[in-house]
Amino acid sequence: MSITHNIVAPHTPRMGIEERAPDFVRALIDSQKAMGAEVRATKPDVLIINSAHWVCTFNWHVTCQAEHVGHCVADEAPELIDGVPYRYRGDPELGKAILAEFEADEIPCAPNESLHFQWDYGSWVPCKYLDPDAELAIVLIGTVLSSDLDECVKAGTAIRRATDTLGRRAVFAASCALTHELVRGPASWPTEERQMLDGKFIEMLTSGHIAEAKSWFKEYNAAVVGEMGGRTLATFLGCLDEASSPPYTGKQYGPYTQSSGSGNANIALWQA
């Protein structure tokens, strides 16, 4: 079992600068910190983040830098995250292993080795709260517009194989919301129907009903208007092996919260 935890970690930009965060996201920040502390206590080697905000058109890009250094700006909201510095270790060996598995499955891919690459806030926000002292190596994976949900599930399975091959104790994080039909008004909630559907999906995951979650996902995703077309959550599902033993168990950390019409929750799954 090389992926020790599969998690969903929201990233609304209003979480970014904690001292300026509005009240309605503070519980989301606190629960992401708590989730990070419990995950780090299991001594993983690396945090793999599939960010809904690192948007790639055709290829699955994977970071292969030995070190990540830069400043994060939220391009869509620079008034909220305006150039915050970061420095984390990378894991080029794992990045290349993931790419090798993508190639084996004929998933279009390419390495990101640019020394000038700057993180999106969907990568930076979870890192800040899950790993505040930069203890873990980080590998980032983009979300690909040309991929369909089936390819995303396939990519998740390839990511799991790569961690198995290297024996890395990895945490996979889907950095995204659940329902995501955005509206103006930061404190706006999703519709009641979509909140209920999100709750059903969370319950499936945390109770270990992975096969059922995978089977229902396309219907669920269409109904809730998943972020980036549900691609990031589909990759998360692909990282889960419902046929393996022991079965998955899980936990929602803190409350389900709103942000501009989206639904957000910190969720972790593991095999006991």
Full-model pTM: 0.98
Low-confidence ranges of the chain (pLDDT < 70): 1
What pLDDT does residue 84 have?
98
Query: Smallest Cα–Cα separation from 241: which of 163, 169, 156?
Result: 156
- pLDDT score for 124: 98
Task: Check residue 140 and give its pLDDT.
Answer: 99
Question: What confidence tens digit (pLDDT) does each residue in 128-176 have?
Answer: 999 999 999 999 999 999 999 999 999 999 999 999 999 999 999 999 9
In this prediction, residue 1 carries a pLDDT of 58
Q: For residue 107, which phi and psi values (nearest 5 degrees)?
A: -95, 120
Return the pLDDT at 64. 99
Q: Is the distance from CB of 244 to CB of 271 less than 8 angstroms?
A: yes
What's the CA gap between 187 and 190, in Å, rounded? Answer: 10
Q: Where are the domains of the chain?
A: 3-271
Name the CATH superfamily for 3-271: LigB-like (3.40.830.10)
Q: Identify which of 175, 78, 178, 67 has the alpha carbon closest to the alpha carbon of residue 122.
A: 175
Cα dist. 2→43, 56, 105, 192, 244 in Å?
12, 27, 20, 38, 12
Interior CA angle at 63 toward 58 and 66, to 5°?
160
Can you give the pLDDT at residue 225? Answer: 98
Longest distance between any two alpha carbons in the chain, whole Å: 47
Peptide bond into 186 cis (omega under 30): no
